[in-house]
Each structure stands twice: as C-alpha cells, then as structure tokens.
Structure 1
C-alpha cells in the first residue's frame, strides 16, 4: 500500500519543482515514447490511406512544443495575449485547487483560443507516494472541471515533478490519460531573470522538443516573446503536444518524451 501525504501548497511548489531536473536525469527510470516514433506508428490510416493531419506536418516541419505547468494564475491572461499576438499554440497542464477553481474564465479562454488544455493533477500530489484511490482522485477532479468548463475532457496529463511508475501508468490507462514529460526545462522556479530563462530554453531547444515552463513564476511570461521570436528565427514551428505526435495519437497509459 502506498504511503499517503498531505496536500502540496502553492507556496511549496518551488521546493517541489527543484527535483524536476533530477527526475529526468536518473532518479526515475521510465520507459518513454518519442514523438517521432508516434508519428511513424500513425503514418498510415487503418486501411492504408494517408492519415489526416492538422495545419502542420511535423514529419516535415521542425516542430517544437511550448508547455506551461501549474496554472492558470494571475499571469496567464498576459501569456495568452502574447501567444495570440505571436500566433503560437501551447499546451497547458493545469492544477485544480487554487488554479482552475480560481481562474475558470482563463481555462475557457485557453480552449477557445486553440490551446491544448490538460491536467497537472488537482493538488500537485506526488503520485508515486499516494494510494491508488488518491491517484484517481487527483486525476479525476481536474478532468471533471476542465470538461465542465471547456466541453472537452483532457486526454493528456503531466505528473508532478515528472514522477511516475507502473501503478500511475495503469491508472492513467484506466482513466484514458497519456503522460507527457519534457526535454527542455528553464528551471524558472529558481530565478526571476527573464533573460536567463530565455537563454536556458534556447540552449536546450531541439527538433521535437517539449519545453517546460511555469506561468506562475514572475520571470517566465516576460521571457516568452523572446523565446518565441528566437526559435522562429531558427526555423522552428510551434505546435501543441497532439500536433507534435500527429498523425499518431497519444495512447492512454503510455509516457511521451523526446
């Protein structure tokens, strides 16, 4: 049986987020699937016909996905303004408690403006440390609220700190959710220096990259215009995570990372 813990307060997110890099550099051994592999799997439809694509074909284009965790927040409206001005779609992995329930209009706006709205759990519980029933609750509550607000139930989630295991995979499969990790982190929880955040992203960016940022931190949103402009100059096309995988699709219970 898993050991349970109390809820993680927003004020504790900085210390929790400090483990993000460690999680992806050896603390957690997780089998992941790359976007290119998903695209190859979905290259043909069920009867050999070409699969349907959106406006971008990442088999040909140099795609990259911009993702934001732990919102919405008081900074999200400005972020959405920037994304609209730059004509860039993003994927938002939203927290429930003190976020979705505090900024429901921003959740609606994200969906209405063409962004992918996904889950980062209800209260940022570390899923590998809690019971199966609590994992289900952490996943069900934000999905219920997002579906109520947008009319569409999420199919993607990002586990807090990227910490996941076989039990989490099994429950995600049961609940129709795929897990999405990342390849680029600005560690924006460690600094308010927007220029440094920009540099960290640009230094790590590569084709099929999934960029992790947090619009809850003061230095992040001001860095976004420079990140977008610099990567466009380098020939990148911004897409949502589902667009990055197309013509394949994320499968519940699987974990995706470049």
Structure 2
C-alpha cells in the first residue's frame, strides 16, 4: 500500500443519492461501507470527515433569517447525524469505529483528543470526525485538512461525483479536460476550487497531498491506496 493512513472526506449531499425525497440513501451507505471495508482489510488506517449538506448547510442560514454563527452550529449538528448513520452502517459490516466530535455531546460521541484519535487508528478502528472543528466559519473541508494534519495522515482523499479535477465543470461542459496531477501552485493559480481556501492552504503549507476522485466508482478507494491513478493528485 502506498498510503498507510488516510483521511477520507465525504460530502453530505452524496448520501442522498438520487432519492431527493430522503436525506440518507441506505444504498449509498452500503456502497460506501463496502469500499471502506475493502480498504480496512488491507490494513489501511482510516479517518473520515463527512459533511452535512443533505440536512442543513450553514450557508443556508442567512436566507432563512438565521444568524450566521447559529446556522454554522446547526450545520455542525447535521454532520453528527450523518456521522452516526455512517458509524452504524460500518459497524453492521463488522468494522470497529469511534465517533469523535468538535462539540461535547458525551451520550453519542467522544470529544476530539488528538492522541486518543491516533491511538484509535493504531488499533485499527475507523475514526469518524463530526461537528467540524467545533467553531463557526470553518467548513468540513477545513476540518478534513486540519484533522488529517493532526493525526498525521499520509493523504486527504476527497470523494466526489466526478473522477478528478477538470479545467471546468465536466457535468456542464463536455469539452472539459481532466488533470491527472497538479501542483498546489498550479491549482491556486488556475483557481480550480478543489477545497475552500483555508483547507487548501493548510494542506499546501503542511505538504499534505490531496486526491480528488469518484467515490461512486467501485474499487476506486482501494486503487488510490495502492498508488494507482484513479483521480487527480494535488501535491
């Protein structure tokens, strides 16, 4: 395996699948569990950050007349709901997990403590980070970058609906061209919006590579951990 410890970033919207009348599509959860289990069986240590956009986005707050800070905390709670759903599904597939949150809620998860998180990973437990970093004005992309640095992950894997980074949106423009590799500087200069700027800068300053890939393509997660080309590498 090329990567021994990874941080997987999943979007909340992806959990909806095509069923827009429900927040969480169980078929998508099952698919994710199969991919993660195949990786875990190869001895890879796995940390996960999942968004909450299928339930509530902090960015929606203003349109609803809700204070921005309050809205961000609501978004953090949405990520915990998704994290609990993912935890339950992973455990149903026979994997050991721990849910750690940036906000104290002792009944459902542990508080984030860096050394404890690393110990869980060393023991083979899948660690899911919920509630962002516990502060407003930070996205789950920033959480993924920060937690990856804190637990000394080898790479951030950003699972999306497309198979990498393109010159423009491939879902809108058929002539979009895919990048196989990019430097942080190139991605910045081309304004490619891989992650929000805070998250991107954290990775760049700490020399933490990012791989953007299609999470819905079966076997992609394992291919990437082996070092195969199944997305776009930014380093």
TM-score under structure 2 normalisation?
Answer: 0.38
The structure with more strand, counted as a fraction of residues? 2
TM-score under structure 1 normalisation?
Answer: 0.35
Q: Which has the higher contact order (CA 8 A, sep 6+)?
A: 1
